[in-house]
Chains A and B, each alone.
Chain A
Amino acid sequence: MREMTYAEAIRDAMSGEMRRDEGVFLMGEDIGVYGGAFGVTRGMLAEFGPERVRDTPISESAFVGAGTGAAMMGLRPIVELMFSDFMAVCYDQIINQAAKLRFMFGGKVTVPMVIRAASGGGTGAAAQHSQSLEAMFCHVPGLKVVAPSTPRDAKGLLISAIRDDNPVIFLEQKLLYGTKGAVPEGDYAIPLGSADVKREGGDVSVITYGRTVQMALDAAERLAREGVRVEVLDVRSLYPLDRGAIIGTSKKTGRVVVAHEAALFGGFGGEIVSVIADSEAFFHLDAPIKRVGALHCPIPFNPGLEAQVLPSAVRIEAAVREVITGGV
């Protein structure tokens, strides 16, 4: 184990995979000398050189598509999109190309590509640089979608994503880049589709992923002082999704809050709720499920306004109180 930041853990995963497999390489805007907008690739140019740490023109369609083409030929590109919002700039290449080619071509090609993108708000970057767009990508068959919440998970899940033979959208939470945690050294893979209980408890389940995991843990800590035992389940991987873990925690506590940073309406939380509603866990519920997410509003620039739009530990705590008192 080594203490490192979320950004360092991502770098550690990429560097390890690039040492292990010469087919793995990086592409993106200013990932070389500059080290990436968030510094994630800092130092990698020196170790791997410009062929494998490839600065691109500002042409998201061209370099995401080139990643797909190179992946079809057997290379394993990791494509960095500076902000996940920019996936809208190259939507065709992700949705109509990378996601479709394997099935559409009769199963004869694979597209082993990872698209890493800095996701989420809270940085004052305003409406075009703060979105959480994961639900849009979960809705497209052919893609996998991962959103790690800790340095350890970021490393383990990214290693699995790089080794996966499918296009994987890897959403890095930009406010988590600087957070620290213990990370296993060396070759450490976490299978995609495995949720993780970040805190055990028997009274209420908060099912979440990404940046709201820490908010849920903060809320759980405060509620623990009142004797409320909150279980925090981090699904980590949205597709494939660990349905069993969602059903399991819901049956265990019978009271569920679903939280994410993305806009609530049409958000991935709806899918989590439907997993519960569609299963035997439904019969174990003691209260209606509550959801926490962002308001249906572009993310505002002003810090006070932004904080009102995005979820928080306080709002998750309030939702937990509601499912406790709102029992049947």
Chain B
Amino acid sequence: MNQVFSRPESLKDVQTHFCPGCQHGTIHRLVAEAMDEFGIRDRTIGIASVGCSVFLYSYFDIDVVEAPHGRAPAVATGAKRARPDKIVFTYQGDGDLAAIGTSEIIHAANRGEAITVIFVNNTTYGMTGGQMAPTTMPGQKTSTSPYGRDIKNDGAPFKMAELLSNLDGVAFSARVAVNSPKNVLQARKMIKTAFQYQVEGKGFSFIEALSTCPTNWGMNPLQANQRLADEMIPYFPLNVFKNSENL
């Protein structure tokens, strides 16, 4: 019998702690598939960040360094410069990367560090209980924006994939979503391309993956998926913003 579906080798055979309807699991899987496809698991170093993504080492069957909140791109810089032959990627949430870690991400990107950054944008701080994130949508209610995000008070959401694509050091920047089979297939392709940039030594690659947080959004998984399609994608368009080598 032909086996058509199996767990990627780079993922451990364990249950995740992610909430029902959370899309971290899908994004993890796509990252693992890219690693399997390039056969780089045995030379990959993952950099975990602070937030729901901190348990990277529990799910990926690879060596991992846990970074302080927001500092994953700096930790990745150190690891990659120390071991240029390794594949180094960070996996960060929106609070981590786009709030406390803006300095680290922008400078790592601007230096053109040969790393891959997977940025998961679910418009909220998940682990700490649904506070306002730098990517929280205008009008979105969170536990620290109970009247809805007011852009006069809080500024507008960061569009990181677009912002970083303006830096000369960035070789590849794309935004993806995993809310539908079609988008999953596209996301798989983009994540693979991001790793291909690093495997081929072609510079800094960035993936912004839109994701759901049903628990903190106060929705069931289907409603959350619908919100992603109806509200997030129009505001955070899915696109390739930079593909300097046309890979």
Partners in one complex: no
- Which residue numbers of B lie inside 8 Å of A, CB to CB? none
- Which residue numbers of A lie inside 8 Å of B, CB to CB? none
